[in-house]
Each structure stands twice: as structure tokens, then as C-alpha cells.
Amino acid sequence: MKQLGILLLLTLLSTGIHAQQVEYVDDEACGCELVFIDGIQTTTDGELFGFKRADGTIITPNRYRFVDKFHGNYCKVFLNYGQCGLIDRDGNTILPCIYGELDYPSEGRILVVKDGLYGYTDMQGNLVIEPQYPLAGTFHDGLAPVAVIIDSFFSACTFIDTLGNRILPPLYESVQPFNEGYAPVKRYQRWGMIDQSGKEVLTTRFEQITDNSYGIFFAGDSSGMALFDYTFRPLTPFVYTWTSGLVEGRIGVQRNGKYGFLDTKGREVIPCIYDETGIFSNGRTLAAIGDRFGIIDTLGNIILPLEYDNHTPHGDKYMYHDGLALVEKDGQLGYVDLDGKLVIPMYFEQAFHFTEGLACTRFKGLWGYIDTLGQVFVPHIFDHASPYEWGRAEVIYNGNVSKMDHRGKCVKNCNGIIAWREF
């Protein structure tokens, strides 16, 4: 057993999060930030926060010092530091603000912290597992990882069911949550994998292991890792020194200092020949050899020749957003489509990738916004500008920091400015 603060690792994962729908309200003469997420808006009187619906119905008055955004049906709220609770979309209190922290519901249980210890409530707010663990995680596959206090100096890890029963003795220095019936565990400084009965399906002999999402994972040591699936036999040699998660059927890997991609069967479908790669989006990702950048697809076909630069700041270049990728050559920036065709000419001095259908670009020393057709949305008149997020963008105009809505209208710190574009 090792000291808890040094070696204990419990992955704390939230569930119940879903894609959020955003609605923008056009009437903003007040200069307020009226952005409705899933039909609910955060309100404030400048000090305290509450919520209302798009029709103006008050869900909760401004009573909370801090609030999160809604995650599905629930939202964390704080009366003050260390006074956390949970409400639903109707403003009903699920958990009163008596907890130091909590997590969103998972499999009918809510992870809570009180007086520095972790426990669980049910969905009605009743404590079903008293706070007693120095660390704990949310439930997956009906089980949650917890650290059990052994004595005043040591703790060890195990798993409990939704009633708090231990399914195994506290044997492990470190654990990760169960996924599809299996969980990575660490014992005597070595990682392996167990099933829900506690049987070692992968012997604890590895220095490192990745999480087992999607039924695949890497295990090995600092000299090299191999890809495994639930047959628990290596699908590749132990040659990879870095790996990414699975995205669009591809796993980024590093071998002998070079980057490439595997498929889920362990086949190196894109050889490790690149000095830099990105993450796939729309079946495309950046690739670089030396200081020459381009774009490849999931089969390794070159979509944009590796003859471009990556010197100017900003951007997230060679990655697709809104169907376009920002590219750079000889100090100028433009945008290419999914076929690698230059559709917005390279005449910008600096630029960001597209967000919400718009990109902020610098031309002749000043910043403005263009749409995905390359048309000027707001003229290049700003000292600086930021990308759009939740329908808002910050700009610096005549030395003042202002906010602009999705129509190009000033909505905050306007100083007499209504809009920077014609309607």
C-alpha cells in the first residue's frame, strides 16, 4: 500500500451530459446577454444568479452566488463557497446546498462531498451511502471506484455497488471505472485488468495502461505500448510511445519519434512518417513533415499537399470547422474546403478558424469577420477581435472592449454604437 496523496488515482466522470441547443434573442437594447441554452437562460442582478425560460418565466430568482449551465435536466448551484446543491429544469431542489461539491447523476446515484469525504444520494436527495471515502467516482456498469481508509496513513481502492456493498477487498493502489464489464487496476506498481468478479483478465504486469473506452486500450511501459482488445491479447507489437483516443475510427500513435494512425484492429493504416498530426474531423486532419504542413484523409491520402506553413499565431490551422480549414503560405492565410480547394483566397495577415459560421480575420492591420463564402460580414475596423462563442464575440474598437451579437450588432459597452454593419 502506498500513501493516498501520492499514488491513488480515481477517474471521476460525469454522465447525463447531452448536446445543448442554443437560441439567440434579437432584442438586446438593454445590453444584456440573452443567450438561451436548451431553453433556459442564466439571469443575474450583478451579484447573484438565477434562471428563467425564453418566455420570461422565472425558474429560480437570483439567489445563488455561482451556477453551472444545465446538463440535461440538472444544474449545480452554489449559495456560497462549499455550499453546493442540485436543481432540476423546473427549479426544484434535488439536493440542498449543503455539500462541498457534487457530480451530476449517474445510474441513479449522485456523488456528493461533505466534510471532505465522498458519499452518494439517490435521485430524491436521500443519502444512501454515507460520506466516508477520501476519494470516489461516479457509477458505471453498476459499480463505482472508491478509496477505503485503511488507517491514519494509508488507503486502498476497490469498487462498490449502488447500495455501498464492496464487491472486492480493497487491494489496489489505483483503479479506473468499469467499462463494458472490465476495469483497469494497479497493484504493486503494475497495471492490469479485472472483470466484475475480481478475476484478472489481464495480468497486472504493465507500467502504464490507457482507459478501455470502445473496447480497446493500450498497455505497456515507457519503452513501448501495444494495442489490446477484449481478447486481452496484443494486437500490435509493443512499439508505440504515445497514443490518442479513438476518433473517426482512427487512433493516433507515435513510433520511433514519428506519428501515424491505427485502425481498431491494430493495423497501421497511416504509417508513422509524420512529424506532426492532428485529430480527425470530417475525415481530415493536419499532417506535417519538417516545417511543411498539409492535410490527409483517414486512408492517408493527401488532400492538401504538404507545402504550407504554420508560423502566424491564432487559428487551429489545417483542422476543419464549418467545413473549411485555415491554411497559411508565405505569411498569408486563407481557407480550403474538404477537397483541399482554396475557396477563400490567401490575403489575410492573421485569422482564426470558423466558429458559428464566421471567422475573425486581420486585413491591413485591422480585424473584421467573414462568412463561409468569404464575404465580409463585419468590415475590418477593429483593433482586435475574438471568435464567436454562444452567439457573442468580443472586439476592441476605439480602445474600448465591446461585445457583438451574431448579427454584428453591439450589445455591451457600446458607447453609442448600435451596429458595425448594415441590416
The tens digit of pLDDT for each residue in 10-26 reads 433 333 333 445 554 44
Among candidate residues 408, 412, 358, the one with its CA nearest the CA of residue 387: 358
Structure-block grid coordinates of residue 394: 468580443
Give the C-alpha separation, 77 to 65, whole Å. Answer: 8
Q: Which residues contact 105 (CB under 8 A, 6 or more apart)?
A: 15, 16, 74, 123
Q: pLDDT tens-digit profile of 270-289? A: 999 999 999 999 999 999 99
Share of the chain above pLDDT 90, in %: 79
Name every residue whose Cβ is closer than 8 Å to that of residue 367 and which is 6 or more positions away in sequence: 360, 361, 380, 381, 382, 383, 384, 385, 395
Query: Is 360:387 a contact under the CB 8 Å cutoff?
Result: yes
Instruction: Express each pLDDT in 253-266 by its tens digit.
Output: 999 999 999 999 99
Question: Can you give the pLDDT at residue 183?
Answer: 97
pLDDT tens across 293-321, in order? Answer: 999 999 999 999 999 999 988 778 999 99
Tell me what the pLDDT averaged over the chain comes to: 90
DSSP annotation string for 45-64: SSS-EEEEETTS-EEEEEEE
Give 67's Cβ-side CA count (13 Å radius): 23
**168-172, 325-329, 344-348, 411-415, range with the lowest pLDDT:** 411-415
If pLDDT is split at 50, 70 and 90, which confidence band does 33 have?
A: low
